[in-house]
Amino acid sequence: MHVYLLDGTYELFRYHAVVPSSKSADGAEVGALRGVVGSVIGMLEGFIVSMNAPAGAAEAVNERVTHLGVATDHVIESFRNDLWPGYKTGAGVPAELLEQFQPLEDALRLLGVVVWPMTEFEADDALAAAAAKAAADPRVERVIIATPDKDLAQCVDDVRVVQLERRTGRVIDEEGVAGKFGVLPESIPDYLALVGDSADGFPGLPGWGAKSTAAVLARYRHLEAIPDSAGDWDLTLRGADRLAEALLEGRDDARLFRDLATLRTQIPVFDDVNELRWRGPEPGFRAWCEHVRAPRLADRVEALVAAQPAEAG
């Protein structure tokens, strides 16, 4: 089986940026909410992904999702805000978008999809925990983390745990991570510690750009292995003395930033992977669709349910 894991909060932000405003029967904003639910239904119906073929070429595959879990940020803030005062918050997020956070969780449950709403942790942590849990199950052939978020690249494992860029249908395996960042998945937290992550609100170290960081970590992999003096570095790199000095002075900050970038995989998500199998919507799903003025969503789901017995036979 293939297990799909979706970042619901990212999807909500994505649809909020591109879909027009839409109101429910009681006047609430539901444009992005409807977009995400429709998109999840599209995953259940089947969509084209670009898998890596054994020879290394891209192979278009029509993939229908059977096992799915969605992680959401029930609130923006997390335990990381206690570790770093500049970490991202809900400040600046439009009220009409924030107001769709919990309704999305409710709607996905009515659709029959497993949802993990995060409060102390972040959606990314839940995705990482679910990926680790699913990958440990021998029944699972592949785990697909459906988000382009660079944090999740640390979870990629060969071709078994991969990332999916849903807008392009491109699947990124371990080779793809190395091609994109210049480092292996295990080095992604170290990479982010040095270059920083503006989306999450931590700056990295002065002078450490993407290319220099990739070059150093491709050789040393982790912060602790990088010698203090550039004279001891086993590579030739322009500006190495300046970079080594910045790292020597900022090692404590770098370790903190790496901790911020490291996803937690020990949080509870599910006991058995079959809990993620989609078995159809809850009885109230059509009523919800009528409430948000999107009855066509219910029609699509009912067609999926009707098709299940024929496929099972």
Q: Which of 241, 261, 281 is the last residue of a domain?
A: 261
Buried b (16+ CB within 10 A) or exposed e, 109-143: bbbbbbbbbbeebbbbbbbbbbbbbbbeeeebebb
Residue 262's pLDDT is what?
Answer: 98
User: Domain check: are 101 and 190 in the same one?
Assistant: no
Q: What is the mean pLDDT of the chain?
A: 93
User: Domain check: are 15 and 128 in the same one?
Assistant: yes
Query: Does the pLDDT value for residue 313 go beyond 50?
Result: no
User: Domain check: are 153 and 26 in the same one?
Assistant: yes
User: Domain check: are 257 and 268 in the same one?
Assistant: no
Residue 50's pLDDT is what?
Answer: 63
Higher pLDDT, residue 58 or 7: 7
User: Domain check: are 228 and 287 in the same one?
Assistant: no
Query: Does the pLDDT value for residue 55 go beyond 80?
Result: no
Neighbours of 10 (CB within 10 A): 22
Using H for helix, E for strand and C for coil, what is the string for the chain? CEEEEEEHHHHHHHHHHHCCCCECCCCCECHHHHHHHHHHHHHHHCEEEEEECCCCCEEEEEECCCEEEEEEECCCCCCHHHHCCCCCCCCCCCHHHHCCHHHHHHHHHHHCCEEEEECCCCHHHHHHHHHHHHHCCCCCCEEEEECCCHHHHHHCECCCEEEEECCCCEEECHHHHHHHHCCCHHHHHHHHHHHCECCCCECCCCCCCHHHHHHHHHHHCCHHHCCCCHHHCCCCCCCHHHHHHHHHHHHHHHHHHHHHHCCCCCCCCCCCHHHHECCCCCCCHHHHHHHCCCHHHHHHHHHHHHHHHHHHC
Among 55-59, 64-68, 149-153, 197-201, name the one with the lowest average pLDDT. Answer: 55-59
CA distance 93 to 163: 26
CA distance 171 to 200: 24
Residue 308's pLDDT is what?
Answer: 79
User: Domain check: are 209 and 226 in the same one?
Assistant: yes
User: Domain check: are 133 and 217 in the same one?
Assistant: no
User: Domain check: are 37 and 114 in the same one?
Assistant: yes
CA distance 187 to 153: 9
Please count the structural domains in the chain.
2
Residue 170's pLDDT is what?
Answer: 87
User: Domain check: are 19 and 128 in the same one?
Assistant: yes
| pLDDT per position as a tens digit, 261-294 | 999 999 999 999 999 999 999 999 999 999 999 9
User: Domain check: are 252 and 212 in the same one?
Assistant: yes
Comparing C-alpha atoms, which of 216, 173, 162, 143 is closest to residue 57? 173
Average pLDDT over residues 33-39: 97
pLDDT band at 312 (very low <50, low <70, confident <90, very high): very low
Q: 260 near 207, Cβ under 8 Å?
A: no
CA distance 297 to 42: 10
Q: What is the CATH number of the domain that holds 235?
A: 1.10.150.20
Average pLDDT over residues 23-35: 96
| pLDDT per position as a tens digit, 208-255 | 999 999 999 999 999 999 999 999 999 989 999 999 999 999 999 999
The boundaries of the domain holding residue 208 are 185-261
| pLDDT per position as a tens digit, 133-179 | 999 999 999 999 999 999 999 999 999 999 998 888 889 999 999 99
Q: 27 near 167, Cβ under 8 Å?
A: no
